[in-house]
A and B are shown apart, each in its own frame.
Chain A
Amino acid sequence: MSDPNFDLPIPSAEASRATIGWLTLGLVSLLAAGVFSILLVLARTPIVQELVPFLDFFRVALVVHVTLSVLIWLLAVSGACWSLSTSRDRPIWDRLSFSLAASGTGVIIVCPFIGAGNPLMNNYVPILQHPLFYTGLLLFAAGICSHLVRALLDRTRIATRLDGTAALRFGITLSTVLTGLSVIAILASWRGLPNGMDGQIYFEFLFWGAGHVVQFSYTLLMMVAWVILAFASGGRFELTPRLTLVYLIILALPVITVPFLYLAHEITSAGHRIAFTELMKYGGLSCLPLGLAVAASLWHAEKPEGEGRYLRAALVSSLGLFAVGGVLGFMIAGLDIVIPAHYHGATVGVTIAFMGLSYYLLPRLGFGALPERMAVWQPYLYGSGQLMHIVGLAWTGGYGVQRKTAGVAQGLEGLGQIAGMGLMGLGGLVSVAGGFLFLVVAWKSMRGRIRHSH
């Protein structure tokens, strides 16, 4: 009988150091994204938006906010997970990877204050057309790629006797493979793009395939986090490690089609765009078996105590948001703001799972205990704010308001549209408060560090 202990222990002191580094990078990127998000929310809230001429800065702030809160935060936490799944120490390599990614993040944060502008609102990795922004992106990408290769080379091998921890580590290794595939997808798109193409359309095509592939990696790690949170918070997670591993493989399976999608369609063709949209829409359903197993584990689960309280709160909020985002994905019709409602739901679902994973990891990495009450409230506050934000977006999207607009460009007319955007703005502010609360909780834990890693 295999051991169903779905725990993620810290393999070594060196792995602990590397994990702390990547986790801190994620926290710094969220802090900076939070500052930019305040400006974003104000720029789209009725009445306030008329008082300040935000439109120009709205787009620059949106680019940096998305880059920090999605790309860097999610990949930094992914990097932390990869560090926990290595079988040997390589301190110099770890330091090099982290230094590259951290310096890239720093460069991206300071970009808007050095005069980087000319924003392009393409999907997945929006761009500021400025050498400094490109420098930041390249440095960060170099750090992630370096860490990815190291994690793949030193991955933990599966033993004959599979336990819960080994199943989770296998899931983490799968996520490195998927992220690696997304890097290859960028290179394939770059090779397939015609000479002379530039601007928004260029970056749209460049990141379209890879952007879709990397979502599978995030979802995979979210599932790993869900299992950890369910198990640690006293949920009745009854899958065997072997079945958990099989479900993780099923989740990653749709990505097998990616090389064929690249062979079948020109990068700039409508077929390429549609193929990846369909991959996401139907391939994303592959997360259902494990997702439902985790949801079922909450049925008749014992009342959590101690750290279980906030881990359960994070799990419930993440499940709820991800489910709403998933349902909205099937309601997209056209280019209205149901699209951001969908991806906010899905991405925030992943983000809350990663926040919960951070809560799980911080004390195990040698930091102090989390402030329990605050940590319990935080996922609910952040989740409910994001839910209001999403409902507001989806509601207004029903009236056909276009995405990535602000101020008068939104063309808000009827009471329904204004009320919807008002709800969106209020939800945005609540979720910003929830996001800052996460940083406060993490900060309090880090301040109470009980042993030094240096």
Chain B
Amino acid sequence: MLTEILLFTLVAIVIYLVSDRIIRIIEGNRGGILKNRQVVFFAVFLVLALVSFRVLRTLLTA
């Protein structure tokens, strides 16, 4: 249980940082800051979290 919690925590932090990076890349390409930056950030984070944790769960149960 503790190992899983640690693993999930690490993945969550990585997802957070990746989401931040993605938002910065989008903003770099657009040449300006997104109007609803934090809301877009949460959308990206949630999608990445959903996909990553599903994959992780499959790997852990395999």
Contacts and interface: CB of A to CB of B under 8 A. Distances in A.
Nearest to B57: A114
B1 interface: yes
A104 B45 CA distance: 11
Contacts of B35: 447, 449
B54 interface: yes
Interface stretch (A132-140, A252-260, A276-284): A132-140
Interface stretch (A105-113, A209-217, A319-327): A105-113
B54 to A, nearest CB: 6
Given A114-B53, A454-B33, A135 B46 contact: no
A31 B53 CA distance: 22
Contacts of B29: none
A28 interface: yes
B56 to A, nearest CB: 9
A24 interface: yes
B61 to A, nearest CB: 9
Contacts of A449: 35
B17 to A, nearest CB: 8
A110 B38 contact: no
A103 B12 contact: yes
Interface in B1-52: 1, 4-5, 8-9, 12-13, 15-16, 33, 35-39, 42, 45-46, 49-50
A110 B55 CA distance: 13
Given A102-B16, A103-B13, A114-B53, A138 B5 contact: yes
Interface string A188-232: 000000000000000000000000000000000000000000000
Contact of B36 (A114, A132, A447): A447
Given A102-B16, A132-B53, A24 B5 contact: no
Contacts of A146: none
A3 to B, nearest CB: 34
A139 B12 contact: yes
Interface residues of A, number: 27
B15 A103 contact: yes
A156 interface: no
Nearest to B32: A452
A378 B57 CA distance: 41
A106 B57 contact: no
A311 interface: no
A110 B36 contact: no
A360 B38 CA distance: 20
A20 interface: yes
A454 B46 contact: no
A110 B50 contact: yes
A87 interface: no
Interface string A97-138: 001001110110110011100000000000000011011101
A20 B36 CA distance: 11
Contacts of A135: 5, 8-9, 12
Interface string A7-23: 00000000000001100
A132 B42 contact: no
A55 interface: no
A28 B42 contact: yes
A71 interface: no
A446 interface: yes
A109 B36 CA distance: 20
Given A110-B49, A131-B5, 20 more contacts: A28-B38, A28-B42, A99-B13, A103-B45, A106-B49, A107-B12, A107-B49, A107-B53, A110-B50, A110-B53, A114-B50, A131-B8, A132-B8, A134-B5, A138-B5, A139-B9, A139-B12, A447-B35, A449-B35, A454-B33
